[in-house]
Amino acid sequence: MKIIAGNWKMNGTRTGLETMVRDLSSVETENTVILCVPFTMLGVKSDCVALGAQDVSRHTHGAYTGEVSAQMVADTGAKYVIVGHSERRQYHHETNSIVRDKASNALANGLIPIICVGETMDEKQAGKTMAVIESGVRESVPSDVNTDIIIAYEPRWAIGAGLTPTAAEIADAHALIAKTLADMGLAGTPVLYGASVKGNNAAEIMSIPNVDGVLVGGASLKSDDFIPIITSVK
């Protein structure tokens, strides 16, 4: 059983999500299917797929115009929230410490945070991939976790670029994340791979050791693209 999560980013409409949910309702799978959608689409009825947000405030409540708290996300019935996505880290300067606060708020409100880590092209070229991944996990995961979390490894240079690391690179990254989580007392935490996952590479990627599922961007927007990923593995 794998976790197949979609990240719609700033795309879609409520009607589009309703259509997607209808399309997914006829898919037979034992995998866990999650769609992380814009805040405005949370609350759409979706029995066959769990919904999540794509970000949450690092603050709990109060005078933060435009922010949405973890409590508000949970109030919609959502079960998950992505924190520390590379686009948040890049465009909104989110650091590991901000991401950790967001993950803590999510956990305090019963949400499962999907905590993203991954290296930029500059970091990769400087040979820092492993160091960035390890510090990302150690510094972004709250210290007092005693419930479910999910980690997503997303090599930032590969997102939306049609590029993927080699299978050996993915294996090395996931082995390091699994070892780091075990060191932190979090053995068994699911680790997803994300960046340019499509129907034609999903099965191969999910056959790599320590890859417990995928976090899919562009190919999660249309059911014709997303369903083959969901059904590519048992």
The site for ligand 13P (CB under 6 A) is made up of 7, 85, 154, 159-160, 194-197, 215-219
CB of 216 to ligand 13P, least distance (A): 5
**74 versus 219: smaller Cβ distance to ligand 13P:** 219
- Tell me which of 18, 154, 169, 174 is the catalytic residue: 154
CB of 205 to ligand 13P, least distance (A): 11
- 134 part of the active site: no
Contact 39, 70 (CB under 8 A): no
Q: Which residue is nearest to ligand 13P (CB)?
A: 217
- 154 part of the active site: yes
**101 versus 154: smaller Cβ distance to ligand 13P:** 154
**45 versus 111: smaller Cβ distance to ligand 13P:** 111
**103 versus 108: smaller Cβ distance to ligand 13P:** 103
Residue 28's SS3 state is coil
Q: What are residue 114's DSSP bridge partners?
A: 82, 150
C-alpha distance across the termini of the chain, in Å: 6
> Amino acid letter at 107?
L
Listing DSSP states for 179-229 in one string gives HHHHHTT-TT--EEEESS--TTTHHHHHTSTT--EEEESGGGSSHHHHHHH
CB of 229 to ligand 13P, least distance (A): 10
- Tell me which of 30, 85, 92, 204 is the catalytic residue: 85
Burial of 226 (0-12, 13-18, 19+ CB in 10 A): buried
CA angle 75, 76, 79 (to 5 degrees): 90
CB of 125 to ligand 13P, least distance (A): 20
Catalytic residue numbers read: 85, 154
